[in-house]
Amino acid sequence: MNQLRIAVITASTRPTRVGPQVTDWVMGHLRTRSDAAYEVIDLLDVGLPFLDEPEPASSGHYTKAHTHDWAATIDGYDGFLFVTPEYNRGMPAPLKNALDFLYAEWNNKAAGLVVYGSSGGLRCAEQLKSVLGELQVATVRAQVSISIYDDMADFERMTPRDFQAGNLGTTVDQLVRWSKAMRGIRR
C-alpha cells in the first residue's frame, strides 16, 4: 500500500497573515513522524479566483484549467490538516472558496483542524466542520485551538503553551487513523 498522504493547508491569504508561522510550528512536529507524508499547500500559492465554474462542483463537470489543477492536487491526498484563522466568527473566504470548487475529490477523506484567533478559532472550527460534513469529509474530534493572546507573542510569533504540542499530536494521531480507514472506504 502506498504511503498515506496528508496535506497541511494554510488557509489565510492576507498580506499580514500569521498562517505560515502556525504552519511552520505544525510542520516542525510533523517532521518527527513517519506515519504519513505531510505536505504543505498554501492557498496563497494556489491562487484560485472566486468560484467561476458554470456548474455545481457535485456535477464533476469542470471547465477551467485552474479547477482541473486544483482537483488533481486534492484528489492525490488521503487527508487534510487545515491551518486556519477565524475571521468574523467564520473561516476565511479563500478557504471556503477552495472547498467550494470541488466535490468528489474531497469525499471520503479525513480532516483535522488547527485553528487560531482571539477566541482560539473555535467558531471557525464549527463552521468548517459543517462545510466539510457536506463534502463528505470526516473531521476528527481532537483539534488544536490557538489563542492569539496566550499562544503568540505580539499576535504573530508562535509561543504556544506546552500542552499545545500534545493537542497537535492527538489530532494528528486521530487524523492518520481516520485517513487510513477512509482510504479503505474509497476503494
Per-residue model confidence as pLDDT tens digits over 98-143: 999 999 999 999 999 999 999 999 999 999 999 999 999 999 999 9
Mean pLDDT of 2-20: 96
Greatest Cα-to-Cα distance within the chain, rounded to the nearest angstrom: 48
Residue 79 clears pLDDT 90, i.e. is over it:
yes
Spell out the residues 6+ positions from residue 47 whose beta carbon is closer than 8 angstroms to its own: 66
Q: Residue 11 CA to chain centroid, in angstroms?
A: 7
Mean pLDDT of 143-165: 95
pLDDT cut 70: percent of the chain above it: 99
Domain housing 14: 5-186
67 phi and psi angles, rounded to 5 deg: -70, -45
Tell me the CATH number at 52. Answer: 3.40.50.360
- The residue behind cell 462542483 is 57
For 38-63, give one letter per residue: b (16+ CB within 10 A) or e: bebbbbeebebeeeebeeebeeeebe
SS3 state of residue 117: strand
How many separate domains does the chain show?
A: 1
Q: Write down the pLDDT at residue 89.
A: 93
Q: Write down the pLDDT at residue 84.
A: 98
Mean pLDDT of 13-20: 95
Element (H, E) at 163: helix 163-186
E strands, 57-143, are 79-85, 109-117, 137-139
Q: Output the nine-digit C-alpha cell for 140.
A: 476528527
Spell out the residues 6+ positions from residue 23 whose beta carbon is closer than 8 angstroms to its own: 8, 10, 40, 42, 83
Spell out the residues 6+ positions from residue 157 whose beta carbon is closer than 8 angstroms to its own: 21
**Prediction pTM value:** 0.97
What's the mean per-residue pLDDT of the chain? 97
How far apart CA 37 and CA 176 sit, in angstroms, is 10
CB atoms under 10 Å from CB of 23, counted, come to 23
Residue 156 clears pLDDT 90, i.e. is over it:
no
On whether the CB atoms of residues 13 and 97 are closer than 8 A, the answer is no
How confident is the model over 44-67, as pLDDT tens digits? Answer: 999 999 999 999 999 999 999 999
Residue 1 clears pLDDT 80, i.e. is over it:
no
